[in-house]
Structure 1
């Protein structure tokens, strides 16, 4: 029922709620951060494990070692010949593949965090030390015996992951994604009075005087 600009409505009780679990999904991505101890054979294999998804898949190696970079390219050329999806792999690597050489691992981590890949592997002497340094990724794979397909097919964490850089602000699908939450607020009169001046000041700065009034009206004599 409408009366002027004030409306009163009656709604049926909702029996079921909905939870939004959408995310940007695909094309697939892998980024490998590697120091000079990395095995180029493993790096090449892992890059191609994502390149075979489709021609737009992104496979990137960031390393501190020119030797690792050069040998990884040779390993790709050697291994790809025996793979069933070699045409897709080669096109994917040509279109969306890259090798970046950095002065040190700190710079490598900085670039990796900026790219924020779906899958992020660490091939380094002490991979566990990069927990907390590599913070923008869908899933982090630590060490030469944690290749990306382990996450696809067998390891525990859910493998519905953010892509296209959204790992900078979005998380993998998890139990929390299916939970709808609400916050709650309760203040006593004294507590609200203690915050009154700050709230009114902010509201007035925004020229939202009705906001300010909703606070001050409670303290009128």
Structure 2
């Protein structure tokens, strides 16, 4: 896990055989919540009214953008749905981390931990970065020889107008005819920026909005 593994990220990671995180990785939370907007006051200001003919007390339950308040029974139903989702989250983590649901609940409940603390709590197996994770994956797969290929990424602008596109400068030359002077300056800045090697601390003072 890199900078963070928020609720969904940790939910997926918890099924792994081995979890590696950096010491500062924001880990978790193990928790879910429900948030439903209520447009009842807005509807009243706009003069919008709602009449319902229903066959049971839940027939008009609208969790999209309700324009009337929920009944106590409807609120209870939504709350049970949230609690059932949290219980499933606890079960998934408990199974993946070989813990009890009670143990997971004590460190869950929507809290977020740094990777170093998450390791102490049993949510993470080892502290390290991407290389550590790759080495561990190779070890678990019992690979004696392996390699890592990092794809070369390019910005959309360079993909569209870059000189190397199709190894043919003609396409790039034609593309440059359809961009403004400001856009050409921006592309020139991006090409120069990508040519630098090593750490950089830069602010593009020479660029301005157009």
TM-score range, shorter chain: under 0.3
User: Normalising to structure 1: TM-score of the pair?
Assistant: 0.21
Specify which structure has the higher proportion of strand. Answer: 1
